[in-house]
Structure 1
Amino acid sequence: MKRKFYYLPVVFMAFILSVAWQGAQAQFGSGTNWAKDGYRYYKTFEGGIAEFDVRDANKKTVIATAQDLTPAGQKPISIRRFKITDDGKKILINTNTKRVWRYDTRGDYWVYDVAAKSLKQLGKGKPESSLMFAKFSPDASKVAYVSGHNVYVEDLATNTIKALTTDGTDRLINGTFDWVYEEEFDCRDGFRWSPDGKSIAYWQIDARKIKNYLMLNTTDSMVYSYVVPVEYPTAGQDPSSCKIGVVDIATAQTKWLNIPGDNVQHYIPRMEYTSNPDEIILQQLNRAQNESKLYVAKVSSNTAKVIYNETDKAWINAKEEATGWDWLNKGKEFVWASEKDGWNHLYRIGLDGKQKLITKGNYDVMSVSLIDEPSGFIYFIASPDNPNQAYLYRVKLSGGKAERLTPADQSGTHGYAISPNGTMAMHNFSNSNTPYQSETISLPDHKHLTGNAIKPVTDAKNPVEFFTVKTSEGVDIKGWVKKPNNFDPTKKYPVVFYVYGEPASQTAKDVYGAGHNGMYTGDMAADGYVYISMDNRGAPAPRGREWRKAIYKNIGVLNIRDQALAAKEILKWNYIDSSRVAVWGWSGGGSSTLNLMFQYPEIYKTGIAVAAVGYQLTYDNIYQERYMGVPTDDAGREPFIKGSPITNAKNLQGNLLYIHGTGDDNVHYNNAELLINELIKYNKQFQLMSYPNRTHSISEGPGTGLHLRTLYTKYLKEHCPPGGR
C-alpha cells in the first residue's frame, strides 16, 4: 500500500522517488543511465541526450540532439524515459505517457539509431500511448512491449510486428498486472527476455472472477453520471489467478510453467531468467504471505524445484526490487534478504540450496546499493545507531564486519546511485535542517569529485529536534519536534501530531521536510504551533524484525496505543498546552487519526483525517491480509473489525474534519460513507469535505490543492488556535 507518498512534503517525495536507496545500476528511467564502464553516464540535455563523465565535469558528448529526435513534420520528442544499449548504438525513448493508476506506464516508444541518425516509431497501428515496458532483446535486434494486455515483439530491421499473445482483455492480463498486484507488490513490467533472445517469460493475471468496485463519475459528463469499474479484491476475497508462461518468439506458442500450488491461493510477485535460457527463478508467496518459496523452473522439461523456503509467524515481504536478480558466481548464486535471525540481513543462496550469511549483527540492511563481485564487496544502506537516518556501508561478499563509508560528519539521510564498476557514485544527502544536496564521489574513499561538496547545515535557526520518549508500557518511541519560532519556555503552546502508523511508511526520518507541514498555508512555527511526528511499533524503521512485526493482526490497536501513550508523555512537557492537541494524517494516517480521536478522546481535541480506511475489510487483500491475516471466518475477521475506526466512532468527543475524494480508486469512498453513517447514528457532529471525482491524491482539477490546504489551515486555526499562552 503505497498510499503514504501522497501526503509527504513534495520535496521529500521527489527525493524518495529519485533515490529510493537503490541505484546499483541506473535503470530505464527519466534519471541517469550509467554506461557499462561505470565512468560515463547518459542524461537528457537540451531536448536531446548527452554522454557525461563523472571524472571530468567539463566533458560532454551529445549523442542525439533535439533535432535528431524530431520526427518528420512533427515537434521534437519530449523524452520521458530512455535506455541505451550497452554498445551505445541504439536508444529506446519513451514519450507521450499516460497514467495507469499511480504511474505513467503507458506511452509511445521510438528507437533512435545513433550511427544512421534514424528515428522510427514502434507499434505503428496501435492506439496512441498504448505501449508499455518496451525492452530491447539481448542483441538489440528486436523490441518487445505490451499493448492492450497482449505481448508483442517488433523486428527493428523489417518493422514486422508479431503478436506473442492474443487472448488479452481488461480482465485476462498478459505481460502486466491488475490493480492490486501493481499497488501492493510494485509489479508493473510483467515480461522478461530470455538471455538468448529466443523466448519471453510473462505473467498472466486472470482477474475475471474479481468483483468490481463501482466508482461513480458524476462530473465529467456534466449531465449523466457513469460507472467506473475497478477490479478490486478486498480482504477475505480470493485474489486473481496468476501463472507464468514462456512464449517462443519464432512460433508464438506459449508453454505454461507447472509451479506447485494453487494459482489463486498463491502469489508470484517476482520472476526472472537465470543465466540459463532454459531456467526461470521465481518467488512464490502463499495467500497469507507468511511462507516464501524460491523455485527454479526448467522450461524444457516443465519441472520446478524449491531451492529456498522460509516461513514467518507474521509475514514475509516480496523481494525488494520488482525487476532484476542479484546474481553471483556466474549465475550459480544470488544475494537474498531475510529477517529470519531477527534482523534484515543478506545471504548468499546457491541454486543448489546452500546458504551463507553475508551481513551479521544487530542492525538491518535497509537496501542493497551495488554488488561489486569483481572487487568482492557488496554496498548497502544501513543505520545501526539511529533508525531515523541512512548511511552507506560495504561488506565482503564472503561475509564479515561491515564498514561505514559515509563520512561521520554528515549526519542525516543518504542515497547513492553507484556506478556498475563500484568506483563512482551519485550521492544525495539531506537532514532535517539541510536542504537536499548532491555530488559525485569516488568509492570506497567517498571523496568529492564534481558538483557542490556536501555541507550539512550546523547553524539552522529553530532547528528540528529529535527525541525519544518511553511509554508507560516501556516502549521507546522516537520522533521529531519543530518548536515555534521565538519559543518561550514559560508559555504553553498547541501541539499538532502528524501520524501514519501503519507498516507502509516511516514518518520520523531525519530528512529535509521533517518539521514542515505541506498542508498548512503559512508557517506553523511562525504562527506558534509545536509540530511533532513519531514512529510507533510496526513502522518500517531499521529497528529489527520484532519492532516491525509487533503490529501483526494489531493495526488500529497497537499502533494507536503506542502513539497515544507517547503523546501522554509529551503532554507532560512544560510548554505543551494539553487543551490544544490536534492530530492529522492521510490514508493510513487518516485511519490512525480517526482511531486516536475515537479511542483516546481525552487526549486529542481536534482531528483532520484525509482519505482514511474506515473499515479494514473494504481494503485490498494483498495489503490487509499481509498484516492482519486472512479473514476466512468470524475469528479471522475480528482483528479487522476491532482496529477499524467505525467500530469506535461512537466515542467521538472532539472536533473532526473528514476529507475524501469520491473518485479514489485506492481507498474507496464507501469508507467515508460507512464512517458518516456511524457518526450520524450516534449524533456525533463533524465537518465533511468530499472532493468530487478526485483520486487518492486529491490533486486533480483547477484550484484543488489550494482549496484543500486552505480548508485544512482554517479548520486547524479555528479549533486548535496557534500561539503561546
Structure 2
Amino acid sequence: MKRLLVLVLLTAVSGSTRATAQQDDPSRLTVQRIYGSPEFAAQPFGPSRWLGDGSAYTTVEPAAEGAGREIVRYDVERGSRKVLVSARHLVPAGDKEPLDIEDYVWSPDGTKALIFTNTQPVWRLNTRGDYWVLDRNSGELSQLGGPEAKPSTLMFAKFAPDGRRVAYVRENNLYVEDIGTAKITALTTDGSRTLINGTFDWVYEEELMNYYADGWRWSPDGSSIAFWQLNADSVKSFHLVNNTDSVYSRVIPIQYPKVGETNSAARVGVVSAAGGPTRWLRIEGDPRNHYIARMDWAASSGEVILQRLNRLQNRNEVMLGDARTGQVRTVLLEQDSTWVDLVDDVVWLDGGKSFTWVSERDGWKHVYVVSRDGKQIRPVTKGDFDVLDIQGIDPKGGWLYYVASPDNPVQRYLFRTRLDGKGKPARLSP
C-alpha cells in the first residue's frame, strides 16, 4: 500500500513538472495560451487626433499608474512620447476614479480637450453621453449641460471656431454653452419626440448619414449654426417586441416609414449662436418626398451648400442657400434613370470660387471641378476607368490623390494628378 501511494505521488509530481515545463516553454503554443491569456490579444489604438501641421498626433493609452487612461502625444518624425493629459487630471471633483475617455477632440488652439464619456447607444452608435471640458492651462475640469441636463443626454458637442464656446444637442434641441461663464443659450425650444433639431430620425441615420446622425454645423466665423429639423409627426410606428432583457416582453414603437408611406419632412435653418429666430431656407417641393441628404457651409459664413435627393434617389440637386435671406438656387444637377450617389468629397478651391465634385455623367466615375455658379464643369480625371476612392485633395498644392484600376480591374493603384487638369496623372504605388 505504501509503495502504491509513493508511486501515485511521484506520478503526480512528474506530471506537474511536465505541465509547468510546457507552460514555461516559450516555443510551445497551446489553446490555453492563445485564448486564455492576453498574450496574443490585439492592442487597442485610439481614438487618435492629428495636431497642428501634422507633425504629431495624440492617442489614448492606459495610465502608467493606477486606473483610467491618459492622452499622449507622439512626434511623427522622432517617435518621442509625451503625456498631455494624465488620468489624475480627469478625476471630477468629489470622485475618486477618472473619466473613461470614449472620445475626445481638441479646441482649435489645443489648450482645451472635450471629453466624451458615459455613452449610450442611439440606434447603432453610442452618440449620446456626457461631455466634459478640460482646460490644460488651469487644470479645471467642468461638465457641460448645466444642472437641468440628465445623465447621458448630450450629443455631437463641438468647439466653436474661437474655442470659447461649445454647442451640442440635448433631447432634440440645440444649445450653446460659454466655457468661461457656463452660460447656456437655447437655440431651439420646440424639440420633441417627433420634432427633431440637430439630429435625425431612423431613415436619415440609417439610409443617408452612414449611421452618424450629427445634424448641425458651426459657421466658419462662429457667429451662426446651420442645422436640420425633421418633422416626424405623420410617420407611422412599427412595433418591435423585446423579450430578451426582462421576464415579461414589452412592445417598443419605432417610427419607421415603409415603402410608399409618409416620410419625415426635413428643412434646414440658420440661427445666431447668441440665440434668436431661425432663418429657414426656402426650398421648393414637397419636403416629405425629398431628402436633404447633405449640408455644410459653402466656404463662407454667408451660404450653405445642400444636396437634395428625390424619393427615388435618381436626382441630386446641388443648391446654395443664403444664410441671411433664406433664398436658395440650384447650381448643379445630377440625374440618372436608376440612381445617383451622394458626394462626400466636396472641397472648396480658389477661396470658394469653385468646388470638387464626383460624377458618372460620362459613364465613368470621375472627379470634376465646378464653378460656384455651376456654369463651368471641368474634368480633373479622364479615361475609361472609375475613380474608386479619393485619398486626399490638396487645395494649396493643387493636387488630387485617388485610387483607380485603369489597366487591370483586379489591381488598385494610387495616383496623383493636378486639380487644374493639366499634365498626365502619376502612379505613386508600385
- How many angstroms does 1:123 deviate by? 1.0
Matches within 5 A, 1:589-668: none
Whole-Å separation in 2 of the counterparts to 1:136 and 1:388: 43
Q: Does 1:218 align with 2:240?
A: no
Cα deviation per residue 1:180-219 (whole Å; 9 max; x = unaligned)?
1101112510000111211111000111111111001234
Paired residue for 2:215, among 187, 190, 207?
A: 190
Match of 2:130 in 1: 108
Cα deviation per residue 1:533-552 (whole Å; 9 max; x = unaligned)?
xxxxxxxxxxxxxxxxxxxx
AA matched with 2:199 = T
Cα deviation per residue 1:225-280 (whole Å; 9 max; x = unaligned)?
32101111112223210000111222332111111222111110100112221211
Paired residue for 2:139, among 97, 117, 130?
A: 117
Match of 1:283 in 2: 307
Whole-Å separation in 2 of the counterparts to 1:134 and 1:387: 42
Q: Does 1:148 align with 2:171?
A: yes
Do the aligned partners of 1:163 and 1:252 also contact (CA within 8 Å) in 2?
no
AA matched with 1:66 = A
Paired residue for 1:41, among 49, 57, 77?
A: 57
Q: Does 1:71 align with 2:92?
A: yes
Q: Does 1:199 align with 2:224?
A: yes
AA matched with 1:278 = G
Do the aligned partners of 2:108 and 2:162 also contact (CA within 8 Å) in 1?
no
Highest CA radius of gyration, 1 or 2? 2
Match of 1:356 in 2: 378
Do the aligned partners of 2:291 and 2:311 also contact (CA within 8 Å) in 1?
yes
- How many angstroms does 1:388 deviate by? 5.3
AA matched with 2:323 = V
Cα deviation per residue 1:410-435 (whole Å; 9 max; x = unaligned)?
xxxxxxxxxxxxxxxxxxxxxxxxxx
The TM-score, its normalising length taken from structure 2, stands at 0.83
Distance 1:155 1:288, change over 3 A: same
Whole-Å separation in 1 of the counterparts to 2:406 and 2:207: 28
Whole-Å separation in 1 of the counterparts to 2:295 and 2:379: 23
Cα deviation per residue 1:484-528 (whole Å; 9 max; x = unaligned)?
xxxxxxxxxxxxxxxxxxxxxxxxxxxxxxxxxxxxxxxxxxxxx
Whole-Å separation in 2 of the counterparts to 1:386 and 1:30: 36
AA matched with 2:208 = F
| SS at structure 2 position matched to 1:56 | coil
Q: Which has the higher contact order (CA 8 A, sep 6+)?
A: 1
**Structure ranking higher in strand proportion:** 2
AA matched with 1:209 = S
Matches within 5 A, 1:217-256: 217-223=242-248, 225-256=249-280
Matches within 5 A, 1:413-452: none
Distance 1:30 1:303, change over 3 A: farther
Do the aligned partners of 1:380 and 1:392 also contact (CA within 8 Å) in 2?
yes
| SS at structure 2 position matched to 1:222 | coil
Match of 2:191 in 1: 168
- How many angstroms does 1:381 deviate by? 2.6
Q: Does 1:208 align with 2:233?
A: yes
Do the aligned partners of 2:186 and 2:275 also contact (CA within 8 Å) in 1?
no
AA matched with 1:110 = W
Identity, % of aligned positions: 45
The TM-score, its normalising length taken from structure 1, stands at 0.50
Match of 1:127 in 2: 150
Whole-Å separation in 2 of the counterparts to 1:320 and 1:196: 22
Whole-Å separation in 2 of the counterparts to 1:175 and 1:397: 34
Do the aligned partners of 1:291 and 1:311 also contact (CA within 8 Å) in 2?
yes
Distance 1:381 1:130, change over 3 A: farther
Do the aligned partners of 1:49 and 1:65 also contact (CA within 8 Å) in 2?
yes
Match of 2:333 in 1: 309
Whole-Å separation in 1 of the counterparts to 2:400 and 2:109: 26
Do the aligned partners of 1:360 and 1:401 also contact (CA within 8 Å) in 2?
no
Whole-Å separation in 1 of the counterparts to 2:92 and 2:208: 37
Paired residue for 2:48, among 18, 26, 32?
A: 32
Cα deviation per residue 1:362-408 (whole Å; 9 max; x = unaligned)?
222222222112222111233334555644322111125332222x2
Instruction: Give the unaligned 5+ runs of structure 2.
Output: 1-44, 63-68
Do the aligned partners of 1:30 and 1:80 also contact (CA within 8 Å) in 2?
no
| SS at structure 2 position matched to 1:276 | coil
Match of 2:428 in 1: 405
Whole-Å separation in 2 of the counterparts to 1:319 and 1:96: 33
Do the aligned partners of 2:279 and 2:324 also contact (CA within 8 Å) in 1?
no
Do the aligned partners of 2:51 and 2:58 also contact (CA within 8 Å) in 1?
yes
Q: Does 1:178 align with 2:194?
A: no
Do the aligned partners of 2:100 and 2:118 also contact (CA within 8 Å) in 1?
yes
Q: Does 1:139 align with 2:139?
A: no
| SS at structure 2 position matched to 1:315 | coil
Do the aligned partners of 1:290 and 1:313 also contact (CA within 8 Å) in 2?
yes
Match of 1:295 in 2: 319
Whole-Å separation in 1 of the counterparts to 2:358 and 2:284: 23
**Structure ranking higher in helix proportion:** 1
Aligned-residue Cα RMSD (Å) equals 1.7
AA matched with 1:43 = T
